[in-house]
Structure 1
Amino acid sequence: MPNTSRTPHVAVVGAGIGGLAVAITLLRKGVAFDVYEQAPELTEMGVGMHLGPNGTRVLRRWGLEPLLRPAAVRPETLEVRGQDGQLFVHRLMGDVWEQEYGAPHLTVLRSELHAVLGAQVPRDRLHLGARLVSFDAGGDSVQLRFADGRAAGADLLVGADGVHSVVRRAVAGEENPVFSGASALRGVIDAEQVPGLAPDSMYMWVGPDARLLCVPVEAGRRFTYVAVLPDRCPSEESWSETGERQALTLAFADWHDDVQAIVRAADTPGRWALYDREPLTRWGHGRSTLLGDAAHPMLPHHGQGAGQAVEDAVALAHFLDGTPEGLRRYEDFRRPHVTRVQLGSRDGGSLRVKPTDGTADGGLDQLVEDVSWIHRYDVEAALERAAADV
């Protein structure tokens, strides 16, 4: 007989930020779970990321903000400059941003956030080196099979296994990724290598075709940079491919001295061809569902990959009742919101910031407008409103 109680046993595939966030919500709810991760170690890439107020307010409620803050930066300002260094906009963040949105905007290494989340999950619930190859979620339970011959069972399955999700493939079939026409070169450099940059500020330099973003991490001791460049010959969709420093040198050859300092400090950048997927009309079937990048892979221009995964985890735990119907209610609640974020990331956010003659804001006001509704969103308040409307 299927388990129809409110404490089902859940199999979570993937121990990235989304998978660990799910584990934390299940742990807080008292739900039994196991997390299966294909990597042999619980690690994450060390590049930097944004965590907007919609995500940090959840971490604050989980009691994790104090653990994250020593490794993070709450930027005090955001500057937008032209390729010659001309200042277009100087916008206050810090207290102003936190008061506006009710929680801080943080910049942090992915590895630091991943470590904080991972430390909350009991090690006997984590199964490493477990690469899912097939599953059956159509009956009264879920059966999983792994590449090393292991098998496992559960009442429900959550696919948090990223953009190349095995669980998603069972729902959506083979898909053609949507290429944005751009690739990103990214890496981390020491702050002492770029003395012209303040360790509590975010920077963006914009040109006609390329842009360079640089934000502080590790309490301001380092900066993470992302160069977004046109790309007519995209590589396969990967987070771990390496690029060439020469590409940075050529793209920013005549740009300002601060940009040149970043290029000189860069070693071998990571290369990330920017793809996403068309939104799905459903995230699962039977006793399976999706979460995070597996459900809604999005371009980075809103800086919302981690924030949306954390929100997903909160919503999933709310609707979890041991039945497929509970999973469908979770999907129906989340899909409209994340689809709006996902599609908005294609032509919004940092893409709205353009070179100007110095008399306009360079598009920064439009960028802020693009993300303000996302940053104000409180997933727990939205769940309460939805329950009141039933």
Structure 2
Amino acid sequence: MRLDGFEVFVVGGGVGGLAAALALRGRGASVTLLEQSAEIAEVGAGLQISPNGVAVLDALGLGAEIAARGVAARAVSLRRHQDGAEVTRMDLGRLAPDRRYLFLHRADLIDVLAEGARAAGVRLRLLQQVTGIEEGPRPAVVTAQGVRSDADLVVGADGVRSRLRGHLNGAAPPRFTGQVAWRALVPGPADHPPEAWVHMGPGRHLVSYPLRGGALVNLVAVEERRSWAEEGWHHRDHPDNLRAAFAAFGGAVPGLLAAVEDVHLWGLFRHPVATRWHGDGVAILGDAAHPTLPFLAQGANLALEDAWVLADALAGAETREAGLAAYQARRRARAARTVAAASRNAWKYHLRPGPIRLAGHAALGLAGRFAPGALLAGFDWLYGHDVTREA
């Protein structure tokens, strides 16, 4: 199907929405992106862009700019909470030369995507709160101002609270996982290498990695608790609460936490992967289709994959309906597998003292020493998949 002149509205100016707008525009579509905020921007946070996500950014023509702004990751290092001693490491240098793994500030990724979209001719319309989306031969969006606009396709990239997700799939209340997470940025200590450090402790773990050439370090700290915390990571908390939760951690952790001045807390909730990703002239992607827990760092990467496949499936189909069906067929199983794997991952970092933790850490240490490529090989299905080269 030729997309020249094909009119598209994309709702949401995050990673998935901007990438979809750029990918569809690259196929010839006429794209308008609607964002409810006053600017296309993001507050401070870090992202891990694994090779499957980098492949999409390369295909969008943004690889050089992303590499210039990101930190090339060298390894993922699993460490004991007591003293920071390394248990094992996943050497990312063993990845093939064309498979890059980057640490990137979310705001930098948003900037690059937005600049690319503007340069390609995507119309970015701000302060556009979408209150309704209608299916049909000419699907439409309705804004809070009461303006109704139709197009050939409407894409819902508006996150976990997506109106279009609810319209397509009905209500599905999320389930609290019994875990909360803090996110913070601190000035980068000179001795933090280009690695993701995962300090593993009883019922909690803390991840740190450098951003912007080491000028900053991104912190994500997860704790198991019974008390509920609101979903969404824009909720502020006091740094002393974070420091108290990780007071038993040693190594580099006390120094990193001492530097925290501004921190956000959010509850981690499980959402089902959407059953329906498309309707009559409408489609969802990213968190609107498959919200995922952060334990594989794949939220942004899956959204980038969705964006590319949506544009590719439409361009390769004879009709809009066939293209949307192909998009879901190519994406849903992989997204569901990734979401399930992320949901299973947290417990590995939270083992309590005792024989199970001793055995688990010993097995990881032996694997890292005698079969250093085995841990990385376990992620081939994830990192090695390149949606831009799918047949």
User: Normalising by structure 1, what TM-score?
Assistant: 0.89
Alignment match of 2:383 (pick from 353, 361, 375): 375
Could you tell me which amino acid in structure 2 is paired with residue 146 of structure 1? T
Q: Confirm or deny that 1:199 pairs with 2:193.
A: yes
Give the equivalent residue in structure 2 for 1:242: 236
What is the root-mean-square deviation of aligned Cα atoms in Å?
Answer: 2.2
Give the equivalent residue in structure 1 for 2:37: 39
* Cα distance change on mapping 1:209 and 1:371 into 2, 3 Å: same
Question: 2:362 is paired with a residue of what secondary structure?
Answer: coil
- Report the more deviating stretch, 233-242 or 218-227: 233-242
Give the equivalent residue in structure 2 for 1:208: 202
* Cα distance change on mapping 1:295 and 1:367 into 2, 3 Å: farther
Alignment match of 1:318 (pick from 290, 312, 316): 312
Alignment match of 1:277 (pick from 268, 271, 274): 271
* Cα distance change on mapping 1:124 and 1:157 into 2, 3 Å: closer
Q: Conserved in 2, the CA contact under 8 Å of 1:180 and 1:346? A: no
Give the equivalent residue in structure 1 for 2:246: 252
Give the equivalent residue in structure 1 for 2:225: 231
Give the equivalent residue in structure 1 for 2:127: 129
Give the equivalent residue in structure 2 for 1:387: none
1:74-153 equivalences under 5 Å are 74-91=72-89, 93-99=91-97, 102-122=98-118, 125-137=123-135, 139-153=136-150
Tell me by how many angstroms 1:61 deviates. 2.7
Give, in whole Å, the separation in 2 of the partners of 1:65 and 1:313. Answer: 16
Question: 1:186 is paired with a residue of what secondary structure?
Answer: strand
Give the equivalent residue in structure 2 for 1:361: 364
Q: Confirm or deny that 1:64 pairs with 2:62.
A: yes
Tell me by how many angstroms 1:325 deviates. 2.9
Q: Deviations over 1:181-237 (max 9, x none)?
A: 101101111113xx5x42322211111111000011111111000000013122222
Tell me by how many angstroms 1:90 deviates. 4.7
Give the equivalent residue in structure 1 for 2:348: 352
Tell me by how many angstroms 1:367 deviates. 6.5
* Cα distance change on mapping 1:13 and 1:86 into 2, 3 Å: closer
Q: Percent identity?
A: 30
Give, in whole Å, the separation in 2 of the partners of 1:304 and 1:343. Answer: 12
Tell me by how many angstroms 1:108 deviates. 0.8
Could you tell me which amino acid in structure 1 is paired with residue 328 of structure 2? E
Q: Conserved in 2, the CA contact under 8 Å of 1:88 and 1:360? A: no
Give the equivalent residue in structure 2 for 1:291: 285
* Cα distance change on mapping 1:69 and 1:381 into 2, 3 Å: closer
- Report the more deviating stretch, 121-130 or 90-99: 90-99
Could you tell me which amino acid in structure 1 is paired with residue 305 of structure 2? E
* Cα distance change on mapping 1:237 and 1:230 into 2, 3 Å: same
Q: Conserved in 2, the CA contact under 8 Å of 1:98 and 1:105? A: no
Give, in whole Å, the separation in 1 of the partners of 2:91 and 2:73. Answer: 6
Could you tell me which amino acid in structure 2 is paired with residue 311 of structure 1? E
* Cα distance change on mapping 1:96 and 1:72 into 2, 3 Å: same
Could you tell me which amino acid in structure 1 is paired with residue 363 of structure 2? A
How many residue pairs end up in the alignment?
Answer: 373
Q: Confirm or deny that 1:333 pairs with 2:330.
A: yes
Q: Conserved in 1, the CA contact under 8 Å of 2:165 and 2:274? A: no
Q: Conserved in 1, the CA contact under 8 Å of 2:85 and 2:251? A: no
Q: Conserved in 1, the CA contact under 8 Å of 2:234 and 2:266? A: yes
Q: Confirm or deny that 1:169 pairs with 2:166.
A: yes
Give, in whole Å, the separation in 2 of the partners of 1:182 and 1:15. Answer: 28
- Report the more deviating stretch, 257-266 or 69-78: 69-78
Q: Conserved in 1, the CA contact under 8 Å of 2:23 and 2:311? A: yes
Give the equivalent residue in structure 1 for 2:354: none
Tell me by how many angstroms 1:276 deviates. 2.9
Could you tell me which amino acid in structure 1 is paired with residue 326 of structure 2? R
Give, in whole Å, the separation in 2 of the partners of 1:359 and 1:232. Answer: 30
Q: Conserved in 2, the CA contact under 8 Å of 1:180 and 1:274? A: yes
Q: Where does structure 2 lack aligned partners over 5 or more consecutive residues?
A: 352-356
Question: 2:379 is paired with a residue of what secondary structure?
Answer: helix
Question: 1:182 is paired with a residue of what secondary structure?
Answer: strand
Could you tell me which amino acid in structure 1 is paired with residue 26 of structure 2? R
- Report the more deviating stretch, 274-283 or 12-21: 274-283
Could you tell me which amino acid in structure 2 is paired with residue 343 of structure 1? A
Give, in whole Å, the separation in 2 of the partners of 1:104 and 1:89. Answer: 24
